[in-house]
Amino acid sequence: MNRMKWSRYNMQWESDQDTIVTYNSLNHKILQGLKEDYRSIKSVEQLCLDGFLVKDQLDEVKLLKESLEFRNQDTNSLSCWVFVSNDCNLTCPYCWEQGGLLKKETNMSMENARKTVDWLIHRIVKSAAKELSLTFMGGEPLLNMEVIKQIAQQLNQKIPKVSYDIITNGVLLTPKVIEECMEINLHSYQITLDGTRNLHDSRRCFADGEGTFDVILKNIESLVTMDENVSLVIRMNIDMQNYKNIPILLRLLHRMEFHRFAALCINDTILKDSGQNSFILKEVIHILRLAKELGFQIAYGELNHCWMMSEAWFMINQDGLIYKCPSLVGEKEYAVGSIRDAEFNKEYQRQISLKPWDTCLSCELAGLCSGGCPNRDKIQEAQGQPKKVCRKQYLMELLKLKYEPEG
């Protein structure tokens, strides 16, 4: 008879409702049960099938590495962010793109739009992908609506299964623009609110200092009224300046019944002070807990591994250069190719060959975070801090929040 052991990639905790929860990061299975009958909630056979129990001689580290490699090589579904404009109509002080203030020739041309479509079709055929998920990105992508329509119209004619998202500040989302988005089957939006009116307007404003809060809320109202198929995520960027204000914003949005139609994406911003980073991560958890109590759906974006090493994920900049991470777009030394070339360059092979998980294989959450974000490591190292940025404690709290029993 084979001896069995508890998987090294199990993480277990006790919830407030006297329930024990077990999560396995290798196969992303969840097991829940009351303490008094936890041992009997699943048979040994089922525990083995779900990966909570494994054969004693099984090399789980090898299995995880193979799983991560397979995940990064899977091209069944292709995802691409297209930066149709690197210009912006706002001057948010924390933005890693710095709007369009430091750039020239910021809008994607029609020629590059056509070449982008050609490159995507070539990539789909070569990788045998069955579907395409495309995100329009900026700067502010709605500054170049004609190119958005050009790309979507061409893809809709040539690709059977394609879906669209847009990350926008929401300022230009007028009824006319909403109608144009609906015509090309664009129904999914991410829009940022960073606080109640005064605080939001102090950091998400036009170049002349005029605020955007009321404009955005008006446009969101038009969006959910006009598009019955809308999918909306409200993003909030949390830092030392606004973390106390966000709970007030959440209660305001709840009174406005945003919880009926919007999910929330709440993220920290990368701060130079590591102590502040740790503090803000704790505050993010408190804010997420309040959001859940208020009935909001949460977009747990950080409970996904980094796609930089995936052969199915790309960013195309407005100038036609191709990247593997949105935070690297515009840094030409990190470009992995061009829409004008059929093949990638040497930088592509270097980036997809990264294995940030190699130093984390003994961690029970290695299958979840895959070693973390290489770009965060790069930023922290540039600031004179330790290169490896471990967010294990934060991810554990996110898991507890996501899978805690209701009631």
**Would you say 236 and 268 are in contact if contact means Cβ atoms under 8 Å apart?**
no
Cα 169 to Cα 113: distance, rounded to the nearest angstrom:
22
Reading the block at residue 95, the tokens are: 């933005």
Predicted pLDDT at 379: 58
Per-residue pLDDT tens over the stretch 165-213 = 999 999 999 999 999 999 999 999 999 999 999 999 999 998 888 999 9
Provide the percentage of residues in the chain whose pLDDT is more than 90.
69
* Burial tier of 317 (Cβ tally within 10 Å: 0-12, 13-18, 19+): buried
Predicted pLDDT at 49: 81
Q: At what angle do helices 145-158 and 175-183 cross, to 10 degrees?
A: 20
Per-residue pLDDT tens over the stretch 236-290 = 999 999 999 999 999 999 999 999 999 999 988 765 566 788 899 999 999 999 9
Predicted pLDDT at 101: 44
Query: Is pLDDT at 1 greater than 60 in this prediction?
Result: no
Query: Is pLDDT at 2 greater than 80 in this prediction?
Result: no
Per-residue pLDDT tens over the stretch 20-73 = 889 999 999 998 877 666 555 567 777 888 889 999 999 999 999 999 999 999
Average pLDDT of span 288-305: 93
Reading the block at residue 137, the tokens are: 């990105």
Predicted pLDDT at 105: 61
The superfamily (CATH) of domain 75-351 is Aldolase class I (3.20.20.70)
Predicted pLDDT at 270: 63
Which H or E run contains 131? strand 131-137
- Sign of CA pseudo-dihedral 316, 153, 139, 137: negative
Of residues 157, 179, 77, 173, the one with CA closest to residue 124 = 77
Of residues 28, 34, 56, the one with CA closest to residue 305 = 28
| Residue-range domain boundaries for the chain | 1-56, 75-351
**Would you say 242 and 203 are in contact if contact means Cβ atoms under 8 Å apart?**
yes
The overall pTM is greater than 0.85: yes
Predicted pLDDT at 381: 59
Of residues 288, 285, 236, 225, the one with CA closest to residue 260 = 225
As a whole number, the mean pLDDT across the chain is: 89
Task: State the pairing for strand pair 231-238/186-192.
Answer: parallel
Predicted pLDDT at 102: 40
Average pLDDT of span 376-381: 61
* Burial tier of 280 (Cβ tally within 10 Å: 0-12, 13-18, 19+): buried
Q: How confident is the model at residue 100 (pLDDT cuts 50, 70, 90)?
A: very low
Query: Is pLDDT at 386 greater than 60 in this prediction?
Result: no
Query: Is pLDDT at 120 greater than 50 in this prediction?
Result: yes
Per-residue pLDDT tens over the stretch 320-352 = 999 999 888 989 999 999 999 989 999 999 999
